[in-house]
Amino acid sequence: MSEKVTDQLVVGMDIGYGNIKMDWGDGDLAYPARVKPDWFGATESHKLNGMRASYDEVKVLVNGRYYWIGPDTHLYVPEPIVTDTYSDSPEYEAHVIGGLHYMFRKSGVIRRSIHKLVLGLPLSQFSLRRETLRQRYQGKRLSIPTPPPLEARYGPEIAVRIQNVEVVPQPVGSLVYWATREGSEEDLNGERANLVIDPGERTFDWYAAKGTKPIYDESGAIPEGMASIIYRLANTMTRELGIHIDYYTASRGLRRNELALIGAGMIDMRPFHAKAKEFADEVTDQLKKRLVSTVFDNVVLTGGGLPLFEEAIRKCFPPDIVRVVAEPMMANARGFYQWGAAED
């Protein structure tokens, strides 16, 4: 690894309720957005088949308190944080610090300064929390745990200054990434009517724009994303199977046709998949009722929850204007990076 200080680094960071996604031009990363306060007990390692195995995590300090962050934290913290004050929380800052640590680790390059950090907010929180989030990190110095191979050279922590921060509506990232990837930059000008639909972990967002300029009266969000559907599915399974089903089990069941459960045997999950689709249809029906305009040049589908919602969303629009963004989970972060880099 090396230290790089000459050029200006732009980082797009999409800290969602479900996953953290990052793009810095030369690389990217993604892992589940789970965080655990250190007072829950030490989890650095465990015994497995008589061998010592380590979790891929890092311990970060926020406001005098330690938190565990990393790709393996979801193994024992299955449920996401779903709160409207997420971006104001110490857990959110822990994700910023942890994300930069993993960026340094993956890229093999240490940066003392980040020229621009581009963050996103759901539509439901954008106008209320945009400026607070920007001011929280603008000009801030963060103590980033040093990747282990460099501790002898740099010490246990690296001070990193965030020079500039920009906060954009989360779906803007997908719009920019889709248009850039497809060579459709003309769709980003002010004459084109675009609608981005972004079903995420916590919220189901839609962003209407002329080019990239928002039309707030035609944009909105519903606080029912993947997490709410998984909770509803867990309750349905609990009621129908007669045993308690938690969030983690219901989430696993959505990805499998069969699920082995203690006390219930092998469960055919396909009827429950159909039930989850019904829940998704109910959310999409709310979108149809709340859309002010139905005339768009492009309807761009994105978001980590898209596989569950796509079928229902497609029924709402003419097929020739529906576009599915590549890498829907990573799309916002990639667009954040492109947005920030283009402005420089």
- pLDDT by 10s per residue, the chain, length 344: 444 444 689 999 999 888 999 999 999 999 999 999 987 554 545 555 444 458 899 999 999 999 999 999 988 887 878 788 999 999 999 999 999 999 999 998 899 999 999 999 988 888 899 999 999 999 999 999 999 888 888 889 999 999 999 999 999 999 999 999 888 888 887 788 999 999 988 889 899 999 888 888 889 888 888 889 999 999 999 999 999 999 989 999 999 999 998 888 999 999 999 999 999 999 999 988 888 777 899 999 998 888 899 999 999 899 999 999 989 999 999 999 999 998 66
**pTM for this entry:** 0.87
Q: Is 301 exposed, middle or buried (0-12, 13-18, 19+ CB in 10 A)?
A: buried
Q: How far apart are CA 179 and CA 174, in angstroms?
A: 8
Q: Is 171 exposed, middle or buried (0-12, 13-18, 19+ CB in 10 A)?
A: buried
The token duo for 32 is 């589940």
Torsion angle of C-alpha atoms 124, 343, 302, 162, degrees rounded to 10: -60
Name the nearest CA neighbour of 171 among 128, 136, 215. Answer: 215
Number of H helices, E strands in the chain: 9, 21
Q: How far apart are CA 87 and CA 83, in angstroms?
A: 9
The token duo for 3 is 């230290």
Torsion angle of C-alpha atoms 303, 171, 177, 342, degrees rounded to 10: -150
DSSP annotation of 81 reads P
